[in-house]
């Protein structure tokens, strides 16, 4: 029983981080219709920004987070303006491939700037494990999880209570009407990329604290697909729920199935099997919008 | 008014009803089309004209009622099977395939009458080659010449004017070898010359080829000139049907039109 | 459109090579292709084989993605299915290569039908994500179905042989690869001279009106998936006799992306473009390697820059083409052709 609880809790921890990554992805999809394959690489860049601020410039952690956010925001704005905007209205294949191309460029640049080897963050949090009732979480999981939760809460508040958030939601619902209401759509597009990049950077820092940083960190970006398909590609609440569910599923599969198939990494593949099943049963996910065919 | 014998009818609808989540698009429409005629469907915007056409073409499935085409109940026949039965249509908002040339768009219309399978296509067997050559001849002789679009053959459809695109759409529908041709606003947005050309083509299609035509159109002059019979829809209901002259004299039709901001009944 | 190129029969107008110049080019190309193995060194033969195998795979992907509009992020996995099926047919069943390679094609074709089945319900980005899942799952199967695939150690395969002739060097494999690449290019071009290819394009451009034109959407999409993965499977089968070994890491997601890059750089929905793209995307990294190798004379650790430079150039190439030349090399070729058609007269 304790074992199950342990799996569930580490599932929720993983899931909270997935949720954060997925939210950045959904923000861009919801307001611009772009499937952002560069999410993982934006995370990686954010993590390196924060690492550089701490390890090279010896800034405190909070300042490093700000540096990461600012750097990512600049990258996001630049990418939207220079690459994505000229692509508006192109076929989905082009949009997908342009973000894949960007991810390759980011990975290459990171290797040039920071080299290919693994790095880890300087110690930030107390090493003492965090105890939550019967469950014990190692410090380097518990604290990043808390950062992820804080970031999610912050983002939700931003969407709910600020004018910009309202404008973004309106644009996502109906671009034409939003335009008619005087909302500057281009600004909203740009903002979504900035917001998504900042979110990705925070997620990157979180992932980097747990597992170290390298130019390969972006590979974790692939994991968001099961999450966003479960939650619904255009639902922020869905990203949250999908993240937690997939995190738990992954950990349960790892805990109970891995011993049956030793050394196979069932954990890695289980979410994708789930993804296929969801697509067959309910492609728009739990909370996504069902597309309606029109002639 | 006596109803014509069944064998004389190419299309008949009985009590056709269609609604979208509580919004009634068609409320029990009865429509009968006689073989070899041109029928017009008119009515103010939102009257259900295009919905009716979509039901005939199979894009919408009516909640109740029956559609009988040439003696066969097609109410439940999937849309993709209907062209093979002899139903063809054009679209209100032009639905050509932008990535293909004019010629390929037209050839595509004949899709359901061709047989080449994947393997014989890959190998371009003698049968496949023969079928393509025969199709090309048919298209050149019966369609491209007829619609006077020889000069457009190898143009990409995206580069054509609106009027010419409509003409290519008609060409594609003819390549479907229809017995019943459904035209959704065939002359909307055309200039006077293009309108005259299109009207002439529609008449020729009926007179020379014996193809039955059902068309939706807002231009009353053209409808009254071309059609043997006109049906008027308003809010999904059939409010009148008859010859152009009868329709023009019908007080209810006049009321339906004047009651909305739609086009008034006028000649020319 | 080229002016002054009149045809007197419909058959001539429907030929793949419609102008005397393009037929002349074809003969030149054939001559070069036949002479190549007798003059080229080992490294260039190795590259030529790689290009040939990738051409077949990329043709398959362009049929599915470029012509039919169904995005696949799992094409490399189908190449893998073909490779494993070929290797297993050759080693376990002892089939000769001329049966083992088609067996690979067939196996991949069936896998493609399976993965394509959801296209009945899902489309666009959702289908792309489904193919991504197929890539991840198949890769996992390659690695972990040890009894069948040999796990990470893979399967070793003896060279292809025919009447005592062994295709044991890159020079000899070249004939196999070049022959099959030419054959499959011809077949792909044929496809788009018939109703089958027209239906593919119609489904890509406007699926709903295609359906109302009498095209069975599901059958069309499944056909595209099957042809596409058959091509992938043949490429995989050839890969086996080229590399003489099959291992799971030969078919990663990054290879799927490389195939997509080929058809984008070459031209989506263009057979000719696929050939350009396969050559270009395969050779650019090699050119980069040559440049970096040259740079070692000045900076001894220049080779460490190769990997990141490859990533950057690869990504920039995709982005650059999509933003500045979305119709790819095929369109550049057409522009040059139109220019010289009327040369020396100005346009």
Give the ipTM: 0.90
Does residue C210 carry a pLDDT above 80?
A: yes
Helical axes A92-114 vs C253-266, angle rounded to 10°: 120
State residue A108's pLDDT score: 95
CB contact under 8 A, A91 and C69: yes
State residue B264's pLDDT score: 44
The region of weakest confidence among B56-70, B83-97, C21-35 is C21-35
**Does residue A281 sit at the B interface (CB-CB below 8 Å)?**
no
Does residue C347 carry a pLDDT above 60?
A: no
Does residue C84 carry a pLDDT above 60?
A: yes
For chain B, the chains sharing at least 3 beta-carbon pairs closer than 8 angstroms are A, C
> Which residues make Cβ contacts (< 8 Å) with residue C114, sequence separation at least 6?
none
The mean of the pLDDT values for chain C is 90
According to CATH, the topology of domain B1-86+178-268 is: Rossmann fold (3.40.50)
pLDDT in tens, chain A (295 residues): 578 888 888 889 899 999 999 999 998 888 888 899 999 999 999 999 999 999 999 999 999 999 999 999 999 999 999 999 888 878 889 999 999 999 999 999 999 999 888 898 887 787 788 777 777 778 878 888 888 989 898 888 887 777 777 777 777 667 777 777 777 778 888 989 999 999 999 999 999 998 899 999 999 889 899 999 999 888 888 999 999 999 999 889 888 887 777 667 788 889 999 999 998 888 888 887 776 544 4
pTM of the model: 0.91
Identify which has the larger pLDDT, C41 or C111.
C111
Q: Measured between alpha carbons, how far is residue A194 from residues A198, A200, B62, C118 in Å?
A: 6, 10, 47, 34
CB contact under 8 A, C215 and B107: no
Domain boundaries, chain C: 41-342
Does residue B104 carry a pLDDT above 70?
A: yes
Q: Is A177 exposed, middle or buried (0-12, 13-18, 19+ CB in 10 A)?
A: exposed
State residue A65's pLDDT score: 93
Cβ-Cβ pairs closer than 8 A, A with B, add up to 5
The region of weakest confidence among A217-231, C188-202, C294-308 is C294-308
State residue B1's pLDDT score: 45
* C345 — pLDDT class (breaks 50, 70, 90): low
Identify which has the larger pLDDT, A169 or B37.
B37
Highest mean pLDDT among A90-94, B29-33, C14-18, C107-111: C107-111
Q: What is the mean pLDDT of residues C142-161?
A: 86
Identify which has the larger pLDDT, B156 or A288.
B156
State residue C343's pLDDT score: 64
State residue B261's pLDDT score: 43
B111/A283 Cα distance (integer angstroms): 31
Residue of A22, A43, A38, A11 lying closest to A236 (CA atoms): A22
Does residue C63 carry a pLDDT above 90?
A: yes
- Our CA-based measurement puts residue B91 at a distance from the nearest CA of chain C, in whole angstroms, of 9
Interface of C with A (CB under 8 A): 65, 69, 71, 118, 121-122, 124-126, 128-130, 132-134, 136-137, 140, 143-144, 208-209, 253, 257, 260-261, 264, 268, 305, 307-319, 322-323, 326
The region of weakest confidence among A202-216, B115-129, C5-19, C215-229 is C5-19
Q: pLDDT tens across B222-255, in order?
A: 899 999 999 999 888 888 899 998 988 888 887 7
Domain boundaries, chain B: 1-86+178-268, 96-177
Considering only residues 45 to 64 of chain B, which have any Cβ-Cβ distance to chain C shorter than 8 Å?
A: 57-59
* C58 — pLDDT class (breaks 50, 70, 90): very high
3-state SS record for chain C: CCCCCCCCCHHHHCCCCCCHHHHHHHHHHHHHHHHHHHHCCHHHHHHHHHHHHHHHHHHHHHHHHHHCCCCCCCHHHHHHHHHHHHHHHHHCCCCCHHHHHHHHHHHHHHHHHHHHHHHHCCCCHHHHHHHHHHHHHHHHHHHHCHHHHCHHHCEECCCEEECCEEECCHHHHHHHHHHHHHHHHHHHHHHCCCHHHHHHHHHHHCHHHHHHCCCCHHHHHHHHHHHHHHHHHHHHHHHHHHHCEECHHHCCHHHHHHHHHHHHHHCCCCHHHHHHHHHHHHHHHHHHHHHHHHHCCCCHHHHHHHHHHHHHHHHHHHHHHHHHCCCHHHHHHHHHHHHHHHCCCCC
Cβ-Cβ pairs closer than 8 A, B with C, add up to 113
Identify which has the larger pLDDT, B119 or C168.
B119
**Does residue A295 sit at the B interface (CB-CB below 8 Å)?**
yes
3-state SS record for chain B: CCCCCHHHEEEEEEEEEEEECCEEEEEEEEEEEECCCEEEEECCCCCCHHHHHHHHHCCCCCCEEEEEECCEECCCCCHHHHHHHCEEECCCCCCCCCCCEHHHHHHHHCHHHCCCCHHHHHHCCHHHHHHHHHHHHHHHHHHHCCCCCHHHCCCEHHHCCHHHHHHHHHHHHHHCCCCEEEEECCCCCCCHHHHHHHHHHHHHHHHHHCCEEEEECCCHHHHHHHCCEEEEEECCEEEEEECHHHHHHCHHHHHHHHCCCCCCCCCC
Q: pLDDT tens across B186-234, in order?
A: 988 888 899 999 999 999 999 999 999 999 998 888 899 999 999 999 8
For chain C, the chains sharing at least 3 beta-carbon pairs closer than 8 angstroms are A, B
* C5 — pLDDT class (breaks 50, 70, 90): low
Q: Which residue of A has its CA nearest to B91?
A: A295
C7/C21 Cα distance (integer angstroms): 14
**Does residue C106 sit at the B interface (CB-CB below 8 Å)?**
no
User: Which residue do the tokens 């981080």 mark?
Assistant: A17
State residue C250's pLDDT score: 94
Question: Which of C13, C190, C216 lies closest to B80 in CB terms?
Answer: C216
Give the dihedral of Cα atoms C310, C316, C317, C319; nearest 10 deg: 150
State residue A266's pLDDT score: 83
User: Which residue do the tokens 């074709």 mark?
Assistant: C109
**CATH code for residues C41-342:** 1.10.3470
């Amino acid at each position: 029983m304790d074992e199950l609880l342990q799996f569930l809790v580490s599932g929720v921890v993983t899931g909270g981080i997935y949720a954060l990554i997925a939210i950045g992805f959904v923000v861009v999809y919801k307001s611009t219709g772009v499937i952002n394959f560069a999410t993982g690489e934006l995370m990686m860049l954010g993590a390196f920004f924060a690492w550089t601020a701490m390890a090279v410039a010896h800034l405190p952690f909070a300042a490093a987070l700000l540096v990461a956010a600012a750097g990512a925001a600049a990258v996001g704005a630049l990418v939207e303006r220079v690459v994505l905007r000229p692509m508006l209205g192109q076929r989905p294949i082009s949009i997908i491939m342009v973000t894949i191309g960007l991810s390759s460029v980011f990975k290459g640049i990171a290797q040039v700037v920071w080299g290919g080897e693994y790095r880890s963050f300087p110690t930030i949090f107390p090493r003492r494990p965090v105890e939550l009732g019967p469950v014990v979480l190692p410090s380097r999981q518990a604290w990043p999880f808390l950062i992820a939760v804080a970031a999610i809460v912050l983002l939700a508040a931003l969407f709910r209570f600020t004018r910009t958030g309202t404008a973004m939601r309106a644009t996502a619902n109906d671009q034409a009407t939003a335009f008619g209401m005087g909302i500057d759509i281009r600004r909203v597009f740009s903002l979504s990329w900035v917001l998504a990049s900042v979110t990705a950077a925070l997620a990157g820092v979180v992932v980097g604290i747990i597992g170290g940083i390298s130019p390969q960190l972006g590979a974790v970006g692939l994991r968001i697909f099961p999450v966003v398909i479960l939650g619904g590609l255009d639902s922020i609440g869905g990203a949250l729920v999908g993240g937690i569910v997939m995190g738990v599923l992954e950990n349960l599969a790892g805990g109970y199935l891995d011993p049956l198939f030793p050394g196979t990494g069932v954990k890695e593949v289980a979410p994708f099997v789930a993804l296929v099943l969801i697509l067959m049963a309910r492609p728009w996910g739990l909370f996504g919008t069902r597309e309606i065919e029109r002639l | 008014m006596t109803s014509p014998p069944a064998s004389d009818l190419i299309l008949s609808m009985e009590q056709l009803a269609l609604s979208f989540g509580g919004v009634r698009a068609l409320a029990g429409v009865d429509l009968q089309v006689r073989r070899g005629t041109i029928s017009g469907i008119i009515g103010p915007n939102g009257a259900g004209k295009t919905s009716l056409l979509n039901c005939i073409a199979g894009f919408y499935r009516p909640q109740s009622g029956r559609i009988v085409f040439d003696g066969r109940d097609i109410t439940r026949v999937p849309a993709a099977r209907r062209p093979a039965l002899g139903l063809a249509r054009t679209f209100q908002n032009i639905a050509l395939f932008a990535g293909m040339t004019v010629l390929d768009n037209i050839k595509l219309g004949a899709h359901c009458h061709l047989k080449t399978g994947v393997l014989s296509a890959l190998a371009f067997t003698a049968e496949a080659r023969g079928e393509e050559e025969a199709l090309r001849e048919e298209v050149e002789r019966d369609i491209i010449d007829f619609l006077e679009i020889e000069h457009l053959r190898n143009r990409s459809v995206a580069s054509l004017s609106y009027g010419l695109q409509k003409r290519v759409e008609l060409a594609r529908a003819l390549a479907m070898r229809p017995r019943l041709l459904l035209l959704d606003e065939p002359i909307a947005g055309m200039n006077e010359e293009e309108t005259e050309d299109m009207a002439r083509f529609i008449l020729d299609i009926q007179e020379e080829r014996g193809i039955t035509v059902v068309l939706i159109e807002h231009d009353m002059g053209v409808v009254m000139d071309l059609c043997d019979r006109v049906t008027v829809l308003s809010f999904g209901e059939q409010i009148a049907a008859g010859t152009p002259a009868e329709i023009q004299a019908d007080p209810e039709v006049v009321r339906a039109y004047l009651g909305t901001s739609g086009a008034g009944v006028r000649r020319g | 459109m080229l002016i002054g190129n009149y045809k007197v029969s419909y058959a001539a107008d429907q030929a793949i090579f419609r102008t005397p110049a393009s037929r002349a080019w074809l003969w030149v190309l054939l001559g070069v292709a036949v002479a190549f193995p007798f003059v080229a060194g080992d490294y260039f033969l190795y590259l030529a084989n790689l290009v040939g195998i990738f051409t077949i795979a990329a043709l398959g992907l362009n049929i599915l993605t470029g012509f039919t509009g169904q995005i696949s992020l799992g094409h490399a996995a189908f190449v893998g299915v073909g490779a494993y099926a070929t290797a297993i047919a050759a080693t376990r069943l002892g089939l000769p290569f001329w049966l083992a390679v088609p067996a690979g094609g067939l196996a991949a074709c069936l896998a493609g039908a399976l993965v394509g089945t959801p296209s009945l319900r899902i489309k666009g980005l959702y289908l792309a994500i489904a193919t991504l899942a197929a890539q991840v799952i198949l890769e996992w199967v390659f690695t972990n179905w040890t009894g069948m695939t040999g796990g990470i150690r893979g399967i070793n395969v003896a060279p292809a042989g025919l009447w005592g002739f062994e295709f044991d060097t890159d020079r000899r494999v070249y004939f196999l690869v070049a022959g099959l690449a030419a054959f499959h290019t011809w077949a792909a071009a044929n496809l788009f001279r018939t109703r089958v290819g027209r239906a593919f394009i119609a489904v890509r451009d406007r699926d709903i009106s295609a359906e109302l034109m009498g095209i069975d959407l599901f059958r069309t999409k499944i056909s595209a998936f099957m042809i596409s993965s058959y091509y992938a499977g043949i490429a995989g089968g050839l890969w086996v006799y080229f590399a003489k070994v099959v291992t799971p890491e030969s078919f990663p997601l990054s290879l799927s992306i490389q195939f997509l890059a080929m058809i984008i750089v070459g031209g989506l929905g263009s057979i000719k473009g696929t050939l350009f793209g396969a050559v270009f995307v395969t050779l650019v990294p090699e050119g980069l390697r040559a440049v970096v190798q040259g740079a070692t004379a000045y900076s001894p650790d220049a080779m460490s820059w190769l990997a990141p430079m490859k990533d950057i150039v690869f990504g920039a190439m995709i982005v650059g083409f999509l933003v500045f030349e979305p119709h790819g090399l095929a369109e550049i070729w057409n522009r040059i052709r139109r220019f010289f058609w009327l040369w020396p007269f100005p346009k």
